[in-house]
């Protein structure tokens, strides 16, 4: 027999229904959020500047301010209900607590470089809000301790500038693009021009502060070695919100040398690149980082399109020693002294980032990007040199696209001496990494043809790159590899991309996620999933994960 529901219960049920987040009009959601933040935050929040709503004239400019991929800024792209810009660590704690309490889906942005915009666009659920850390950008350099505390919203260029401000002989081995937000950059690994000498940025992290799913601020000692392992290369947006990184500074010489040497198909690009593959990672001095930037351009003499390969390098030392190194192991490049420019470490970083030589270093403090396009990117890793026939087929396909860009980054040196399981980033025993991009400038262009081209190029490269799994770099996020289509992510869905980004480390990341965020509060299109409840209960109580620091 069915029991009637008392009137009081009906009223309570009504109250419950109208208080659920999905039943709220937009204004009510903002009001509830503001009210909750004011109650939960230790330091009062100036909501007039910290909470940016779509009714505010600054909403779209701020949303677009650090976003790199214009594909996700078109009018049809999902927009957040509002953007919250914390001014203090406690504000981040409050936003986690309130988002959980109100059932609001969070996205967290530190620099806006996420290739598929997972830090500021949700394609799997709405409504959502963006927590933008751009105002949390302190950098505290301690030369005596050889360390720096960097807040998540600072750009890597700001970090470089602040280090160089204190010392000409200290640096940090991280990204080539200076507008990268430190918070997200290091969560993916953070490779850069000194990785052959010192490893990744994530290899040189010695402490961190993170807001966990309960709103607690945890340092390395409080979070434990498992979570500390996971956040250094396990990808952003899965385990909590990074507030600070404590990074280890590395020695750099006062004189650093840079150069760029071009080779076109007409001047032997195929032969030179074939040799570069054989020596760049295995034979060249680890003080030398020499990447290859490949573009299609108009031939200077014929006017026809040709492939141009640019050998762009940073050498931790003077030009004379650099010439000895290159002429001994890579004479095919034809490097001469007039190609070389001696400079400081900071200016060498700016050179690699594409700044003109006359640019004052203070531009790094602005944290602005030099690259903003409609683009699609993919990545690969190579263990054996691509044969000449493979390169010739590659050139042919590049010539079919309007504005292709391919970048080859050499590994070897310290990268090969660090275990694949030392941190979640597993790509150690490789010769080089490939980044493929297709770019366009107009929203009205046929996006489909560019997507089709890069996918066909990616398929063509399959015989020449790593397999089982075909590896990919998590900071070059690629939703072609698989998408978590709903908030209740399954292990099977996630393994499609998880094994490519993390190889065998993916299983350990899942176990850590299940422990620290079992209800999957921190999630996005390619976040680490927790184990399903039945599997979690089977492993509870007798599972111990190996500790790595």
pLDDT in tens, 12-57: 333 333 334 333 446 688 889 989 998 888 888 887 789 999 999 9
Write phi, then psi, for 19 (nearest 5 degrees).
Answer: -95, -5
For residue 46, give both structure tokens.
Answer: 């100036």
Give the pair of three-digit tokens for residue 108.
Answer: 């967290």
The pLDDT, as a whole number, for residue 266 is 94
pLDDT digits (tens, 9 = 90+) for 248-303: 999 999 999 999 999 999 999 999 999 999 999 999 999 999 999 999 987 666 66
Strand duo 128-132 + 105-109: pairing: parallel
Q: What is the pLDDT of residue 84?
A: 96
| Separation between Cα atoms, residue 512 and residue 530, nearest integer Å | 8
Eight-state DSSP code of residue 69:
B
Phi then psi for residue 493, to 5 deg, are -60, -45
Positions marked active-site: 476
Q: Which fold has domain 25-132?
A: 3.30.43
Better-predicted residue by pLDDT, 372 or 224:
224
pLDDT: is 531 or 193 the higher one?
Answer: 193
The rounded distance, in Å, linking the Cα atoms of 62 and 83 is 9
For the chain, residues classed under CATH 3.30.465.10 are 139-251
Asked whether residue 542 carries a pLDDT value surpassing 80, the answer given is: no
pLDDT digits (tens, 9 = 90+) for 157-208: 999 999 999 999 999 999 999 999 999 999 999 999 999 999 999 999 999 9
pLDDT digits 0-9 by tens, 493-502: 889 999 999 9
Q: What is the pLDDT of residue 302?
A: 61
- Model pTM score: 0.91
Determine which helix (DSSP H) or strand (DSSP E) holds 406, and give its type and residue range.
Answer: strand 404-410
> Measured between alpha carbons, how far is 103 from 16 in angstroms, rounded to an integer?
13
Angle at alpha carbon of residue 260, lines to 258 and 262, rounded to 5°: 165
Query: Looking at the chain, how many residues does it have?
Result: 549
Residue spans in the chain of domains classed CATH 3.30.43.10: 25-132
Confidence of residue 419 (pLDDT cuts 50, 70, 90): very high
Determine the pLDDT at residue 26.
61
Give the model confidence (pLDDT) of 117-171 as tens digits. 999 999 989 899 999 999 999 999 999 999 999 999 999 999 999 999 999 999 9
Beta strands 217-218 and 250-251, pairing class: unpaired
The mean pLDDT value of the chain amounts to 91
Q: Read off the DSSP letter of residue 148.
A: E
pLDDT at 493: 80
CATH of 139-251, one of 3.30.465.10, 3.50.50.60, 2.60.40.1480, 3.40.50.300: 3.30.465.10
Burial 498-529 (b: 16+ CB within 10 A, else e): bbbbbbebbbbbbbbbbbbbeebbbbbbbbbb
CATH code for 256-343+373-464? 3.40.462.20
- The answer to whether the peptide bond before residue 512 is cis (omega within 30 degrees of 0) is no
């Amino acid at each position: 027999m069915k029991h009637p529901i008392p009137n009081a219960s009906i009223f309570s049920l009504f109250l419950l229904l109208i208080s659920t987040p999905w039943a709220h009009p937009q204004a009510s959601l903002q009001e509830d959020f503001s009210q909750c933040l004011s109650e939960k935050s230790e330091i009062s929040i100036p909501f007039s500047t910290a909470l940016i709503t779509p009714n505010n004239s600054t909403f779209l400019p701020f949303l677009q301010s650090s976003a790199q991929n214009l594909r996700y800024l078109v009018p049809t792209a999902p927009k957040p209900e509002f953007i919250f810009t914390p001014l203090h660590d406690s504000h981040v704690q409050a936003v986690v607590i309130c988002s959980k309490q109100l059932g609001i889906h969070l996205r967290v942005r530190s620099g806006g470089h996420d290739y598929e915009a997972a830090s500021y666009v949700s394609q799997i659920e709405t409504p959502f809000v963006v927590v933008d850390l751009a105002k949390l950008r302190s950098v505290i350099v301690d030369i005596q301790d050889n360390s720096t505390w960097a807040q998540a919203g600072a750009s890597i260029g700001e970090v470089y500038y602040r280090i160089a401000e204190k010392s000409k002989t200290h640096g940090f081995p991280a990204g080539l693009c200076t507008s990268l937000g430190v918070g997200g950059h290091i969560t993916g690994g953070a490779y850069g021009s000194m990785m052959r000498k010192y490893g990744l940025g994530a290899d040189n992290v010695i402490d961190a502060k993170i807001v966990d799913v309960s709103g607690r601020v945890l340092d390395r000692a409080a979070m434990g070695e498992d979570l500390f392992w996971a956040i250094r290369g396990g990808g952003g947006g899965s385990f909590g919100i990074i507030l600070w990184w404590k990074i280890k500074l590395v020695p750099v010489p006062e004189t650093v040398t840079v150069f760029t040497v071009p080779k076109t198909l007409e001047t032997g690009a195929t032969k030179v690149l074939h040799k570069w593959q054989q020596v760049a990672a295995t034979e060249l001095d680890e003080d030398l980082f020499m990447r290859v930037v490949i573009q299609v351009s108009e031939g200077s003499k014929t006017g026809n399109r040709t492939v141009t390969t640019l050998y762009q390098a940073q050498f931790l030392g003077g030009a004379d020693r650099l010439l000895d190194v290159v002429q001994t192991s890579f004479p095919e490049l034809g490097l001469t002294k007039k190609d070389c420019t001696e400079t400081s470490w900071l200016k060498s970083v700016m050179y690699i980032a594409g700044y003109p030589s006359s640019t004052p270093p203070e531009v790094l403090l602005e944290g602005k990007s030099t690259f903003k396009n409609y683009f699609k990117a993919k990545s690969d890793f190579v263990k054996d040199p691509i044969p000449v026939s493979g390169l010739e087929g590659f050139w042919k396909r590049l010539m079919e696209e309007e504005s292709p860009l391919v970048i080859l980054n050499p590994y070897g040196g310290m990268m090969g001496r660090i275990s694949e399981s030392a941190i979640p980033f597993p790509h150690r025993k490789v010769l080089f990494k490939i980044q493929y991009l297709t770019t366009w400038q107009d929203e009205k262009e046929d996006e489909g043809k560019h997507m089709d081209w890069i996918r066909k190029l990616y398929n063509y490269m399959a015989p020449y790159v790593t397999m089982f799994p075909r590896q990919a770099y998590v900071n070059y996020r690629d939703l072609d590899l698989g998408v978590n289509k709903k908030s209740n992510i399954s292990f099977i869905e996630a393994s499609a991309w998880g094994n490519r980004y993390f190889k065998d480390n993916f299983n350990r990341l899942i176990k850590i996620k299940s422990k620290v965020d079992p209800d999957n509060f921190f999630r996005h299109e390619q976040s680490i999933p927790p184990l399903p409840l039945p599997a979690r209960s089977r492993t509870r109580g007798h599972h111990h994960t190996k500790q790595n620091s």
